[in-house]
A and B are shown apart, each in its own frame.
Chain A
Amino acid sequence: MGTYITFPELFVLIPLLGGIICFFLPKNLATNFAMFFALATLLVAFIALRFTSEAHISWNNVSYEWLKQLGSTYYLGIDGVGRMLTLLTAIGFPIAMYAAMYKSKIENTRSFFGLMLLAEAGIMGVFLAYDALTFYFFWELALIPMYFLCSIWGGPKRIPTTFKFFVYTFVGSLLMLVGIIYLYSFTGPKVFNDGTTSMHSFALTAFYHANIPPTAASWLFWLFFAAFAIKMPIFPLHTWQPSTYNQSPTPVTMVLSGIMVKMGLLGVIRWLIPIFPAVAINVADIVIILSLIGIIYASCLAIVQDNLKKLVAYSSIAHIGLMCAAIFSSTTLGIQGAFLQMFNHGINIIALWLVIDIIEKQTGVKKLSQLGGLATKAPALTIALVVIACANIALPLTNGFIGEFMMFAGLWKMNPWYAAVAGLGVILAAVYTLNMIQKIFFGPVVENTAGSQDIGFFQKVVFAVIIIGIIYLGIFPQQIIDMTSINLQLMGNIE
Chain B
Amino acid sequence: MNAILISAIWGVVLMFTGAFVKSKQTPKYLAIVGIILLLIGNGIELYQEGVPFFAYDTMNMLRTSSFNLTFLEVLFAGTLMFFLLSGRDVEKVGEHVAEYFALIFFVLCGVAISCTYNNLLMLFLGIEIMSIPLYVLTGSSKLNLKSNEAALKYFLMGAFSTGILLMGIAFIYGGNVNGSFYINQLDFGTQAMPTFIAVGIVLLIVALSFKVSAAPFHFWTPDVYDGSPAVFTSFMSTIVKAAGFFAFLRLFKSSLGSAAVPWQDLIVFITILTLLIGNVTAVFQRSVKRMLAYSSIAQAGFMLFSIFAMNERGEEGLLLYAAAYSFATIGIFAILIKLKDYTIDGFNGLGKTHPLLAFCATIFLLSLTGIPLTAGFQSKFFMLLAASEVAGKMWVVIVAVLFAAVSAYYYFRVIQAMYFKPATEDNVEPNEVTTGFKICLVVCVGIIILLGVYPEFLLGWKYSY
Q: What is A's interface to B at a CB cutoff of 8 Å?
A: 66-70, 136-137, 140-141, 144, 148, 151-152, 158-159, 163, 166-167, 170-171, 174-175, 177-178, 181-182, 184-185
Contacts and interface: CB of A to CB of B under 8 A. Distances in A.
A66 B401 CA distance: 24
B384 interface: yes
A174 B371 contact: no
Contact of B408 (A152, A158, A170): A170
14 contacts: A136-B372, A140-B372, A151-B416, A166-B408, A167-B409, A170-B405, A174-B401, A174-B402, A174-B405, A175-B401, A178-B384, A181-B385, A181-B388, A185-B389
Interface string B400-414: 011011001100100
B381 interface: yes
Contact of B420 (A66, A158, A166, A184): A158
A440 B409 CA distance: 40
Contacts of B404: 174
Interface in B362-421: 366, 371-373, 377, 381, 384-385, 388-389, 394, 397-398, 401-402, 404-405, 408-409, 412, 416, 419-420
B420 A181 contact: no
B456 to A, nearest CB: 7
Given A144-B371, A151-B416, A185-B389, A167 B384 contact: no
Contacts of B409: 167
Interface of B: 366, 371-373, 377, 381, 384-385, 388-389, 394, 397-398, 401-402, 404-405, 408-409, 412, 416, 419-420, 454-456, 459
Contacts of A181: 381, 384-385, 388, 397
Contacts of A166: 408, 412
B372 A151 contact: no
A132 to B, nearest CB: 11
A182 B372 contact: no
Nearest to B409: A167
Contacts of A185: 388-389
Max chain A C-beta neighbours (<10 A), residue from B372, B398, B404: B372
Contacts of B412: 163, 166
Given A140-B371, A166-B408, A170-B405, A67 B385 contact: no
Given A152-B420, A178-B397, 16 more contacts: A66-B454, A69-B459, A141-B372, A141-B373, A151-B416, A163-B412, A175-B398, A175-B401, A177-B381, A177-B384, A178-B398, A178-B401, A182-B388, A182-B397, A185-B388, A185-B389
A295 B186 CA distance: 65
Main secondary structure of the interface of A (DSSP, over half): helix
Contacts of A184: 385, 388
Contacts of B397: 178, 181-182
B456 A67 contact: yes
Contacts of A148: 419
Nearest to B312: A69
B340 to A, nearest CB: 23
A144 B372 CA distance: 10
A211 to B, nearest CB: 16
B371 A177 contact: no
Contact of A137 (B372, B402, B420): B372
Nearest to A137: B372
Contacts of B420: 151-152, 158-159
Nearest to B386: A181
A69 to B, nearest CB: 7
A144 B405 contact: no
A69 B386 CA distance: 13
A144 B374 CA distance: 12
Contacts of B419: 148, 151-152
Contacts of A68: 456
A246 to B, nearest CB: 17
A262 to B, nearest CB: 20
B401 A137 contact: no
Contacts of A67: 455-456
Contacts of A174: 401-402, 404-405
A481 B66 CA distance: 56
Contacts of B384: 177-178, 181
Nearest to A151: B420
Contacts of A159: 416, 420
Contacts of B416: 151, 159, 163
Given A68-B456, A151-B416, A177 B401 contact: yes
Contacts of B366: 144
Nearest to A133: B381
Nearest to A68: B456
Contacts of A136: 372
Nearest to A143: B371
A66 B459 CA distance: 12
A181 B408 CA distance: 21
B175 to A, nearest CB: 37
Contacts of A141: 372-373
A207 to B, nearest CB: 15
A182 B456 CA distance: 22
A68 B463 CA distance: 13
B338 to A, nearest CB: 23
A151 B420 CA distance: 7
A255 B328 CA distance: 32
A137 B405 contact: no
A63 to B, nearest CB: 16
A-B interface, 7 closest residue pairs, ranked by CB to CB distance from nearest: A137-B372, A174-B401, A140-B372, A171-B405, A181-B388, A159-B420, A151-B420
A148 B359 CA distance: 12
A94 B412 CA distance: 30
Contacts of A175: 398, 401
A337 B459 CA distance: 47
Nearest to B370: A174
A151 B401 CA distance: 25
